[in-house]
């Protein structure tokens, strides 16, 4: 048995337990607390299993699942940068790349390379799998916001225009899911969960 390899794998497994403590801005649908990033990743993986048929083109589901399980691990070091935080987004890529180097570096070389590549592929959004994974990553917070009566949107005074602008690239992965998002946004405005324009 290669004990060094096993020890490195276990070290990584224990390290990513910290993702359960990284809180996101979205609230859980049936609980007043914020969602954590580990829960988010699990939920996206379940969405991929159920919604893969809605991808614009046929995708390798295993690759999508791997990307979704890996994509937010960097938040252990980099934190969850709120998607509407322009200032925080300025150095987000650099912070996350540094985190990827350290965290994936805990693994044996072959697994380090694989997980880092999956994370990079997700961030680049070039492959059909990455585009579909990104579409799911955009859909889930919208579902959370809509089904908590816009709680996080209202907290941060987010407008429908901001939601559309931030999430429009979801259409690259699934036109069907983007059409559904448009319906949600329209109804969120009607229900008062989102405003059409920002505060005066």
**Domains in the chain and their CATH numbers?**
3-191 (1.10.3210.10)
Q: What is the pLDDT of residue 18?
A: 97
- Which residues fall within 8 angstroms of residue 48, CB to CB, at 6 or more apart? 61, 64, 65, 68, 132, 133, 136
Angle among Cα 165, 184, 131 to the nearest 5 degrees reads: 50
Q: What is the pLDDT of residue 88?
A: 62
pTM for this prediction: 0.93
Block residue for tokens 């949600």: 184
Helix (H, G, I), strand (E, B) or coil at 159: strand
Q: What is the pLDDT of residue 123?
A: 96
For residues 75 and 97, give the distance between their C-alpha atoms in angstroms, rounded to a whole number.
10
Q: What is the pLDDT of residue 198?
A: 52
Q: How far is CA 183 from CA 68, 97, 164, 191, 198, in A?
A: 25, 35, 11, 12, 20
Block residue for tokens 């890996």: 70
For residues 67 and 134, give the distance between their C-alpha atoms in angstroms, rounded to a whole number.
9
Give me the residues paired with residue 195 across strands: 159
pLDDT in tens, 92-133: 889 999 999 999 999 999 999 999 999 999 999 999 999 999
pLDDT grade, residue 196 (50/70/90)? confident
Torsion of CA 64, 65, 69, 72, to 10 degrees: 20
pLDDT in tens, 33-85: 999 999 999 999 999 999 999 999 999 999 999 999 999 999 999 988 776 76
pLDDT in tens, 135-180: 999 999 999 999 999 999 999 899 999 999 999 999 999 999 999 9
pLDDT grade, residue 199 (50/70/90)? very low
């Amino acid at each position: 048995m290669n004990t060094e390899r096993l020890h490195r794998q276990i070290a990584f497994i224990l390290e990513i337990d910290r993702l359960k403590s990284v809180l996101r801005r979205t609230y859980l649908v049936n609980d007043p607390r914020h969602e954590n990033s580990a829960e988010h990743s699990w939920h996206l993986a379940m969405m991929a299993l159920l919604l893969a048929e809605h991808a614009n083109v046929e995708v390798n589901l295993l690759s999508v699942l791997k990307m979704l399980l890996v994509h937010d691990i960097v938040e252990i070091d980099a934190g969850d940068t709120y998607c509407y935080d322009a200032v925080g987004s300025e150095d987000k890529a650099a912070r996350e790349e540094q985190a990827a180097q350290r965290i994936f570096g805990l693994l044996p070389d072959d697994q380090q390379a694989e997980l880092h590549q999956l994370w990079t592929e997700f961030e680049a959004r070039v492959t059909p799998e990455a585009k579909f994974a990104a579409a799911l990553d955009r859909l889930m917070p919208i579902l959370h916001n809509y089904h908590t009566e816009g709680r996080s949107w209202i907290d941060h005074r987010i407008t429908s225009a901001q939601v559309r602008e931030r999430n429009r690239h979801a259409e690259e992965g699934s036109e069907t899911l983007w059409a559904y998002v448009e319906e949600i946004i329209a109804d969120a405005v009607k229900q008062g969960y989102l405003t059409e324009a920002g505060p005066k």
